[in-house]
Amino acid sequence: MSDLEAVAAAQGPGAGSPPEPRHVDKRDKPRSLAGDAWIDLRRSKIFWVASILVAIVLLMALFPTLFTSADPRSCALSRQHAPASGTAFFGYDFQGCDVYAKTIYGARNSIQVGVLATLLSGIIGLIFGLGAGYFGGWVDAFLSRFIDIVLGIPFLLAAIVMAKRLSADPNSNGVMAVTITLGVLGWTTAARIMRSSVIASKNQDYVAAARMLGAGPARLMMRHILPNSVASFIVVLTILLGTNIASEATLSYLGIGLKGNAISWGIAISEAGSYVRTAPGPLIWPSIFLAATVLAFIMLGDAVRDAFDPKLR
């Protein structure tokens, strides 16, 4: 360790302190990477801003009535493009619906689809990545080729085709279709990250030691390899959540996502497009909410990744 590294790590227990007995300083306990990361996170402004934004959006999704008492579906053509009045802070759209209410209620579908799709991607990615990384050999080759194939298909195109296929039933509102589509197409990055983490952990000495002590594959995977691979995986999933929300909006915008009576930011943006010259409000407000939500999740993932990155210490 060079002098400079010693300086950079200048935070050890002070051996130069006076020789009377010291009570155990909190600094003396070895800090885990997670502990260090949490301390860094707590200090990061980005983390707090992102968390607050996420909390607000979650509240909007779970309890929209907290934010507005209006009914987003009570529209009257007589109010078409009417300016803001009363509690309709953002005015009315081309159907005469309360833009503010629609925007608030739109959060629910976005979050729901985003979370479920990400969960699905996470599970698939975990299984594939863990399997490929841990077992190696044929399993790895096969799974990696499979990942290549899925990656070879342009995402948006596959999503469009799939969503269209799955929402063929005119009665469905498309939520399941979009969720499955995004879930099934989005797991590749997560799987790759998990795979490389597992491969890196697998070769560590502590795994060899555990195996020598008689640990079977399941225990090795659960107790020893997985915990160390989890950090990057979580970061990828957080960012994936952001992009899934954006993708849902994209699909809805194209008319392939949520349909029927569903309220979604993507649909709102799509519908508002044609009238943008006369009434920009219905385009702008859902756009801002959508962007802010996606931003919040990506910022969160960023902050967590920076906190866990040992190279930035």
Which listed range, 77-85, 99-107, 193-201, 275-283, lies at the site for another protein (CB under 8 A)? 275-283
d(CA 270, CA 135): 46
Stretch that binds another protein, among 83-91, 197-205, 212-220, 280-288 (CB under 8 A): 280-288
CB of 97 to another protein, least distance (A): 19
Nearer to another protein, 17 or 32 (CB): 17
The candidate with the shortest Cα–Cα distance to 77, out of 59, 96, 58, is 96
Q: How many residues at the interface with another protein, by CB under 8 A? A: 59
Q: How far is the CB of 253 from another protein (least distance, A)?
A: 4
Rg (C-alpha) for the chain, rounded Å, is 25
Q: Is the CB of 108 or the CB of 224 nearer to another protein?
A: 108
* Residue 283 touching another protein (CB under 8 A): yes
Interaction of residue 11 with another protein, rule CB under 8 A: yes
In the bound complex, what is the minimum distance in angstroms from residue 134's beta carbon to another protein?
A: 22
Asked whether the beta carbons of 302 and 233 are under 8 A apart, the reply is: no
52 sits near another protein (criterion: CB under 8 A): no
Query: Taking CB under 8 A as the rule, does residue 246 contact another protein?
Result: yes
What is the three-state SS of 235-255?
HHHHHHHHHHHHHHHHHHHCC
- Can residue 267 be called a binding residue for another protein (CB under 8 A)? no
Asked whether position 213 contacts another protein by CB under 8 A, the answer is no
Burial class from Cβ neighbours inside 10 Å (0-12, 13-18, 19+) for residue 243 reads: buried
Considering only 22, 148, 219, 222, the residue that binds another protein (CB under 8 A) is: 148
Among 22, 42, 73, 145, binds another protein (CB under 8 A): 145
Our finding on whether 81 is near another protein (CB under 8 A) is no
Query: Angle of helix 265-273 relative to helix 99-135, nearest 10 degrees?
Result: 120
Q: How far apart are CA 114 and CA 184, in angstroms?
A: 13
Q: Give yes or no for residue 139 binding another protein (CB under 8 A).
A: no
Check the CA dihedral 250-251-257-261 and report its sign.
positive
**Contact call for residues 187 and 125 (beta carbons, < 8 A):** yes
